[in-house]
Amino acid sequence: MNLKQLEYFVAVAELGSFSKAAVILNIAQPALSRQVRLLETDLHVTLLMRNGRGVVLTEAGKRLFDHSVGILQLMSRVREDIEASRDEPAGRIVVGLPPSMGRLLTLPLVEGFRRALPKARLAIVEGLTTHLAEWISTGRVDIGLLHNPEPQPALEVTPVLEEPLGLVSPATKSGGKAVEKRAGRKVSPRNTATLAELTRLPLILPERTHAIRKLLETHAALAGCKLNVFLEVSSVQSILDLVRAGHGHAVLTPSALAASGTPAAFRLRPLVEPRLTSMLCLGVSAHKPATPLSKHVFRMLHELVVAAGRAQDPAYSKTR
């Protein structure tokens, strides 16, 4: 067993496919398969099971995967520490972004990273806050952008941007009428919305594990009312597509609306009574020491998020 075999095994496990991993690793697929088989032979276990869609981890494979990620992360930190002695951040870093911010931040982050850190490598993954927090804790992600993260011993968070939540409706009259008909009553023409108003509207929300959904459900329960969840959809872009088509309303932040690329297609009314906000935080492992590379990328992400907040209507965002 060697580090190269572990790297190959982790790539196949993460991608769920030998062919995809071969392309990413720039290695012939037969050679990649041979290295994984040698690893299985050395350990006397089956690590991957093939099915019609690719490969999945066996129980033994899951245990090796967890160990392998930690080993590869440790070796990466060793290289970064040695290279940092030359005062030039290097190595590989994995950044996790929520889908609502991915479209806003990915391009400027990649461009800034390539200019400032030519000898380092960047990987970006997207996921919900619950998934990103778990990936940071297990070492698969180095820095993550999290919405309202719950306190965890393995997670160290830094608040960056506080945004108000708003009721998102179609901007067109035809779309608005379609939603009003479903709701059974007219939407208030005011520039703000209340929690009580939400309960009377058909809502398109993420599943219950999503940070915003948890926040809404908690406040609704405290107010003694229940949300009218018409559809549960995880993708922010899909939620907005459904809202624009007149199927219901959503509750999102200004940055999520800006990331859609078509904010003019929607009407956003900040929630009041009570005023509900979403806190965007940068999260890192509480147990892994920071490296020159991670410190640099942390500052870069912080600046990008603050800039994204300032680009929104000042009435909608407040940076820290």
Q: Give pLDDT, residue 287.
A: 83
Whether omega for the bond prior to residue 254 falls within 30 degrees of 0, making it cis, is: no
Q: Which residues of the chain register pLDDT less than 50?
A: 174-188, 315-320
Give pLDDT tens digits for 181-195.
444 444 445 688 888
Token pair 């490969």: residue: 55
The domains located in the chain, with CATH, are 1-87 (1.10.10.10), 89-161+279-320 (3.40.190.10), 166-275 (3.40.190.10)
Give pLDDT tens digits for 244-282.
989 999 998 888 888 777 888 898 988 888 888 888 999
